[in-house]
Amino acid sequence: MTSIKLSKAIVYMALAVFLYALSNVFVKLLAHVPSMEIVFFRAVVSLILGFLLIKKYSISLLGSNKKFLLSRAFFSSLALMLSYASLPHLPLATTAVIGYLSPIFIAILAFIILKESVHPLQWLLFLFTFSGIIVIKGFDPHVELIYFLLGLLSILFSAFGYITIRQAIQSEHPLTIVLYTSFLSILLSLPFLPGNWSMTVYSWNDWIFLFATAVLTQAAQLLMIKAYQMEDAVKISNLNYTSIIYALVLGYLFFGETLSVATCMGMFVVLTGIFLNVNFNQIRQYLRLGRKAEVMK
């Protein structure tokens, strides 16, 4: 039963990562549209879809743990706003690599908030991984510092949101969680909408891209929330780094994005650090068994 549960969580997480990567393409294609308009439109569509589905399946509209639902919605809304502000100005692959810090932020926050244990060597791996991020920023001329920092903050707030899910709202339905996020995203984005609302000059392509962004992220959110509710964050969060494959392919196909050797080296450092971190316990156990075998010879 546990293995089936884990398998479902892995499938949900893998699909969520792919849908998020695809939605990022549409956000970049909307680079000429103010980011807060994209946030607002996406949230409105998600709110409508979520409300209709909640009514159809007779799901609790407000949930049972409003405090933590609002907390999760607040962090997720901030993450969304910062992500959409930075995404059009960064290569997709760079955005994906910044996203790889999510497991590290989750582990650090789980250590601070949930009191989960972190081995001293893992802290060194965290620093090693961050050094790769610094290399990417330092050698990639396409990465501006302000948008790079906005991307980092987005991942940090996103990690806060998922720690909240794992901590206190196991019983809440994913649709209720997303509904809170959509509603709060609308409220938080309203003050930042430009006075000269550009909706009147949207092209048909813009409308299609906006709607695709909203639907894809709605589905990705539901899948990712369900995955984190079903299984421990450490066991599934490493699937986030499969997004580099999608980012490299989609970035090249849609935007002709290429990477420098130094940037690739930085990405390799990040990937290595993340792999060693998420498989830390298994590697320790393997080495321990190897030493025991040597002693017994």
Q: Is 130 helix (H, G, I), strand (E, B) or coil?
A: helix
Burial 201-218 (b: 16+ CB within 10 A, else e): ebeeebeebbebbbbbbb
Q: In this predicted structure, what is the pLDDT of residue 240?
A: 72
For residue 169, the 8-state DSSP code is: -
Q: In this predicted structure, what is the pLDDT of residue 239?
A: 75
Cα separation of 79 and 169, whole Å?
19
Ordered mean pLDDT values, 10 residues apiece, the chain (297 residues): 65 90 94 91 92 89 85 92 93 84 82 80 84 75 85 92 68 84 94 69 90 92 80 68 82 86 83 78 68 57
Ordered alpha helix ranges (H), the chain: 2-29, 35-56, 66-86, 92-99, 101-113, 120-139, 145-168, 174-189, 204-230, 233-236, 243-255, 261-278, 280-296
Tokens of 23: 């939605």
Please say whether the beta carbons of 116 and 232 come within 8 A.
no
Q: Helix 204-230 and helix 145-168: axis angle, to 10°?
A: 40
Calculate the CA 248 to chain-centre distance: 17
Residue 81 to residues 24, 108, 137, 220, Cα–Cα distance (Å): 13, 23, 21, 16
The pTM for the full model equals 0.79
Tokens of 109: 């926050």
Residue 225 to residues 15, 68, 165, 239, 262, Cα–Cα distance (Å): 12, 14, 8, 14, 35
Q: In this predicted structure, what is the pLDDT of residue 1?
A: 47
Residue 47 to residues 39, 54, 185, 229, Cα–Cα distance (Å): 12, 10, 10, 21
